[in-house]
Chains A and B, each alone.
Chain A
């Protein structure tokens, strides 16, 4: 219950450091749509205010990017509080249409997109079901961006990385929207156990966070794995100028900044974006915002595209959600696995 976390909420002294940089506040207008406003909303909820339209919009437009926590001088954690407040509302029956849709899709189809096709349609080869490492593909790479799944596994497959027989949504979208994901977690844990793998590799920072925090597994992002074996790959440098977009859940979420840069440095030239590493601006897609508020999500992505230097021909990233959102906003975006794939074929 959010009312049990009043001390965590009042850690915020309302200094406003998180207000202007909050990606949703940048494109919306009300105080309630920024990190500081969400802390106040959580406080109002904890002290008995009945849910209102602005309360729901305020809480549900948070991309869970964690920039607020990064900037907070007093040590508050607005993202965590926001997710707790969402959960509180969901438990009280105040679910948005997008939350309902997501919940139903995952329950009925095992993926966040409501897809009925086989999850492994992107791969026609022989499936390795046992190994020290297993590749957790994720919903977006399985269905919407199969090129990312294919390019990741083209490399991972060379190192005998296994696949899951029956992978389902990792549960991250449900958890971030304040919903329960216990069944999914139990199912995937059992599948992972069957492979005998000690380490899970994924190309999706959202899955990565969930696998670490909610499954308590040893997890590597594929870019970390690539950085470790880069000397074993016969990569050829390619003429390409990219700027690297740090996905929130890989950077601030998991503290991984250098591995993708190391991989890119071995292949092409990389120019930093205006906000990068700990200070990177969100693509606008996370936290269920893309599913609930597509226009707002795209507006945030457009703002992020402005951070890319003019000299960069492509934005490189390490997250299918970031690729999808930035592409839909008009950006030219490549996943790091695709760039490694290009260097393998060069």
Chain B
């Protein structure tokens, strides 16, 4: 029996090697490409386990994939083999308000989970820009976070237990229903951010949080980018804890205006978006404090108390600003390289200066925005992707950004992961501890079938 027949025995018509389909699964949102030999769409844990047993027996690579919205090639099959499309395991299996948790399959889209939780007055705080399109499995596997991480933390703070199928097809649980446990190694944290290199997540038990009573948004515009960075550091060091704190530079503001003209944004060198949440009085109090800080640091225009519809528009635009840069020039397309560095908060203004310096040195426009409140900055470059020289230059710019972040004590990825695109920096960033990671990988995935050639392995 050939491999396709074996796969069809498990999932029926949900397995294929049709060349057009393989092409559709040969990329994510990054520039990395690689053709699989097969694609299979499992619908339950048993099917995943059966497929992994087949792959283990044949020694063939498995690449788990959520919605394919990753920015690093994490879901791109670089060693051929089977792509496991997990996005059809998309059920919310249980909402347990009394335990403050939910049980979900990995294909659930975060925004859909929050729609389901809203009537109960709860939400799942990790809020990536891709909340409308990524999957929770992908978010967990990449240790994602998003705009509210400054207050609510990353996905790491919300996973209680994962059901994982190991490379040999055996099934484990990494945690439990308990909100805390001091029992043994924390395997849950090991699998979060493992990018499919250790096993396949088939369900996740997640903590949820009560929805805040009130939310307010403050927009502050600056004529100098540095001052915006200083305003953030000053706000946070004064004990103000916003639920989101985002920065957009001049180009990002332009892009947002182009994407949604109804937003009526002001042209500036930089804009900060603060969101405060909690009870109404606290939200009001801290909004005023933020306005004071921003005014004292040179904000030339401040807008607050936007209504709920306007708030939603601001966030909807902000979520997609990274992609929308492609709108500025019909011949240029956004490419994700060097787009997710994070540095210690104190070094944010230095990093912003470094990015401008790199932009000047390489003669390439770099749009900067991101979760400045937790030191996570995104950069965006658009190039003519049919021009090899522009690609070459882009890679140099990406490399310079990564190295600048590392020099400032930062990391090459705050929330998008390593995948293939940043594997080369693992050794530099982690030194000896990268050897421990390699040893863990070898211990769990003896045949190296789980998403090979990723995270620098």
Question: Which A residues lie at the B interface, using CB under 8 A?
Answer: 6-7, 10-11, 13-17, 19-20, 29-32, 36-37, 40-41, 43-44, 49-55, 58, 73-75
**Hey, which chain B residues are within 8 Å of A54, CB to CB?**
16, 18, 20-21, 24
Complex Cα distance, B88 from A14, in Å, reads 19
Residue pair A73, B24 in contact (C-beta under 8 Å): no
Q: What is the chain A residue whose CB lies nearest that of B385?
A: A10
Residue pair A13, B323 in contact (C-beta under 8 Å): yes
Residue pair B88, A11 in contact (C-beta under 8 Å): no
Residue pair A32, B41 in contact (C-beta under 8 Å): no
1/0 contact trace for B41-69 toward A, CB 8 Å? 10000000000000000000000000111
**Hey, which chain B residues are within 8 Å of A32, CB to CB?**
20-21, 24
**Hey, which chain A residues are within 8 Å of B321, CB to CB?**
73
Q: Can you list 7 A-B pairs with a CB-CB distance of less than 8 A?
A: A17-B132, A20-B133, A29-B41, A41-B24, A49-B20, A54-B16, A73-B326
The one of B23, B41, B133, B330 in contact with A16, judged by C-beta atoms closer than 8 angstroms, is B133
Residue pair B20, A75 in contact (C-beta under 8 Å): no
1/0 contact trace for B12-33 toward A, CB 8 Å? 0010101111011111110000
Residue pair A31, B326 in contact (C-beta under 8 Å): no
Chain B CB count within 10 A is highest, among A11, A13, A17, A51, for A13
**Hey, which chain A residues are within 8 Å of B23, CB to CB?**
40-41, 43-44, 49
Let me know if B127 is at the binding interface, CB within 8 A.
no
Complex Cα distance, B14 from A74, in Å, reads 31
Residue pair A19, B24 in contact (C-beta under 8 Å): no
Residue pair B20, A41 in contact (C-beta under 8 Å): yes
B332-359 CB contacts (< 8 Å) to partner A:
333-335
**Hey, which chain A residues are within 8 Å of B1, CB to CB?**
none
What is the count of residue pairs linking A and B with beta-carbon distances less than 8 angstroms? 111
Report A161 CB to chain B, min CB distance, Å: 37
Given known pairs A13-B29, A49-B19, A52-B18, the reply for A20 and B132 (CB within 8 Å) is: yes
Residue pair B333, A10 in contact (C-beta under 8 Å): yes
Complex Cα distance, B68 from A30, in Å, reads 12
Residue pair A74, B18 in contact (C-beta under 8 Å): no
Complex Cα distance, B69 from A58, in Å, reads 20
Report A36 CB to chain B, min CB distance, Å: 8
Residue pair A14, B28 in contact (C-beta under 8 Å): yes
B121-168 CB contacts (< 8 Å) to partner A:
130, 132-134
The one of A14, A43, A44, A73 in contact with B324, judged by C-beta atoms closer than 8 angstroms, is A73
Report B340 CB to chain A, min CB distance, Å: 15
**Hey, which chain B residues are within 8 Å of A50, CB to CB?**
19
**Hey, which chain A residues are within 8 Å of B67, CB to CB?**
16, 19-20
Residue pair A7, B130 in contact (C-beta under 8 Å): no
Residue pair A14, B29 in contact (C-beta under 8 Å): yes
For the A-B complex with A29-B41, A31-B24 known, give 18 more contacts whose Cβ atoms are closer than 8 Å: A7-B331, A7-B386, A11-B333, A13-B326, A13-B334, A14-B29, A15-B29, A15-B69, A15-B133, A36-B68, A37-B24, A44-B23, A55-B20, A58-B20, A58-B24, A73-B259, A74-B324, A75-B327
**Hey, which chain A residues are within 8 Å of B323, CB to CB?**
13, 15, 17, 73-74
**Contact residues of A: prevailing secondary structure:** loop
**Hey, which chain A residues are within 8 Å of B26, CB to CB?**
40
Closest 10 CB pairs of A and B: A55-B20, A74-B326, A73-B320, A16-B69, A73-B323, A54-B18, A16-B133, A31-B24, A54-B21, A73-B324
B63-91 CB contacts (< 8 Å) to partner A:
67-69, 85, 88
The one of A10, A16, A31, A53 in contact with B29, judged by C-beta atoms closer than 8 angstroms, is A16
Report B320 CB to chain A, min CB distance, Å: 4
**Hey, which chain A residues are within 8 Å of B331, CB to CB?**
7
Let me know if B247 is at the binding interface, CB within 8 A.
no
Q: What is the chain A residue whose CB lies nearest that of B328?
A: A75
The one of B85, B259, B334, B335 in contact with A31, judged by C-beta atoms closer than 8 angstroms, is B85
B285-343 CB contacts (< 8 Å) to partner A:
320-321, 323-324, 326-327, 330-331, 333-335
Complex Cα distance, B41 from A225, in Å, reads 49
Complex Cα distance, B321 from A20, in Å, reads 19
Residue pair A20, B109 in contact (C-beta under 8 Å): yes
Complex Cα distance, B334 from A37, in Å, reads 18
Residue pair B133, A14 in contact (C-beta under 8 Å): no
Given known pairs A15-B323, A20-B67, A31-B25, the reply for A53 and B133 (CB within 8 Å) is: no
Complex Cα distance, B11 from A30, in Å, reads 13
The one of A6, A17, A40, A74 in contact with B24, judged by C-beta atoms closer than 8 angstroms, is A40
Report B334 CB to chain A, min CB distance, Å: 5
Q: What is the chain B residue whose CB lies nearest that of A29?
A: B41
1/0 contact trace for B82-115 toward A, CB 8 Å? 0001001000000000000000000001000000
The one of B19, B68, B386 in contact with A6, judged by C-beta atoms closer than 8 angstroms, is B386
**Hey, which chain B residues are within 8 Å of A51, CB to CB?**
20
**Hey, which chain B residues are within 8 Å of A53, CB to CB?**
18
Complex Cα distance, B327 from A43, in Å, reads 20
Report A100 CB to chain B, min CB distance, Å: 21
Report A113 CB to chain B, min CB distance, Å: 31
Complex Cα distance, B16 from A19, in Å, reads 20
Q: What is the chain A residue whose CB lies nearest that of B320?
A: A73
Complex Cα distance, B87 from A95, in Å, reads 31
Q: What is the chain A residue whose CB lies nearest that of B319?
A: A73
**Hey, which chain A residues are within 8 Å of B24, CB to CB?**
30-32, 37, 40-41, 54, 58
**Hey, which chain B residues are within 8 Å of A10, CB to CB?**
333, 385-386
Residue pair A29, B88 in contact (C-beta under 8 Å): yes
Complex Cα distance, B282 from A242, in Å, reads 43
Complex Cα distance, B69 from A36, in Å, reads 11
**Hey, which chain B residues are within 8 Å of A40, CB to CB?**
23-24, 26-27
Complex Cα distance, B385 from A19, in Å, reads 23
Complex Cα distance, B19 from A50, in Å, reads 9
Residue pair A74, B327 in contact (C-beta under 8 Å): yes
Q: What is the chain B residue whose CB lies nearest that of A15?
A: B323
**Hey, which chain B residues are within 8 Å of A37, CB to CB?**
24
**Hey, which chain A residues are within 8 Å of B330, CB to CB?**
7, 11
Report B219 CB to chain A, min CB distance, Å: 20
The one of A13, A29, A36 in contact with B333, judged by C-beta atoms closer than 8 angstroms, is A13
Complex Cα distance, B26 from A44, in Å, reads 11
Complex Cα distance, B330 from A55, in Å, reads 27
Complex Cα distance, B320 from A244, in Å, reads 29
The one of B41, B88, B320, B386 in contact with A17, judged by C-beta atoms closer than 8 angstroms, is B320
**Hey, which chain B residues are within 8 Å of A75, CB to CB?**
324, 326-327
Complex Cα distance, B335 from A244, in Å, reads 40
Residue pair A14, B20 in contact (C-beta under 8 Å): no
**Hey, which chain A residues are within 8 Å of B259, CB to CB?**
73
**Hey, which chain B residues are within 8 Å of A19, CB to CB?**
67-69, 133
Q: What is the chain B residue whose CB lies nearest that of A31?
A: B24
Chain A CB count within 10 A is highest, among B16, B19, B21, B132, for B21
Report B82 CB to chain A, min CB distance, Å: 14
Q: What is the chain B residue whose CB lies nearest that of A45?
A: B20
Complex Cα distance, B85 from A16, in Å, reads 14
Complex Cα distance, B69 from A65, in Å, reads 23
**Hey, which chain B residues are within 8 Å of A30, CB to CB?**
16, 21, 24, 39, 41
